[in-house]
Amino acid sequence: MMIRMASRKGTALLISLLFCVSYTWAQENSPAAPNQAPQHNHPMQHSGTPSPADARTPVQLPGELKQHMLANMRDHMLALQEITTGLSQSEFDKVATIAEERLGVSSGKRHGAHQVAAYMPAGMSQIGGATHQAASRLALAAQDAGVTGDTKPVLAALAEVMIGCVACHGAYRLE
């Protein structure tokens, strides 16, 4: 019974974190409609006053590379969704594979990380590297959970990955 309650709390936390990341991504990648109300820079800013101008650091990428990076970020979001679904179904091997192959350190070659690295500010590169390392730790935690049945370390590792996503999207924007 305690495991189910902890699992439900973890799932609720996960859903909240995913909402924040997806909201941030949508705000960055949706064209503003004419006469649209001012957008908040952070999904938790709801003071009723207009947000200041977007203070995130702009990152200039050539057109094709920008589209490539946006496609990679969309795949990262899809991978996070597939990971949460896998966790909800106790498919720990599947979660480990997705985490490592699509988000982890070894995913760099698949996503062409070397192509965009030259255009990234140092801070963005550091956050990205740390996030991919966290995803590799997530893969290991998922493998362990397959043996132990303990999902708490997996959820903590997933939170670390998402902290990186939120930090990067909060600090940088593509142009």
**pLDDT tens per residue, range 11-67:** 444 444 444 444 444 444 444 433 333 344 444 454 555 567 899 999 999 989 999
Confidence at residue 47, expressed as pLDDT on a 0 to 100 scale? 53
Give the mean pLDDT of 107-127: 86
CA 156 – CA 174 distance, rounded (Å)? 29
Mean pLDDT rounded to a whole number for the chain:
80
Walk me through the domains of the chain, giving residue ranges and CATH numbers: 60-175 (1.20.120)
Whether residue 160 has pLDDT greater than 80: yes
Note the pLDDT tens digit of each residue in 99-109.
Answer: 999 999 998 87
At residue 133 the predicted structure's pLDDT band, cuts being 50, 70 and 90, is: very high
Higher pLDDT, 71 or 48: 71
Confidence at residue 87, expressed as pLDDT on a 0 to 100 scale? 97
Confidence at residue 50, expressed as pLDDT on a 0 to 100 scale? 57
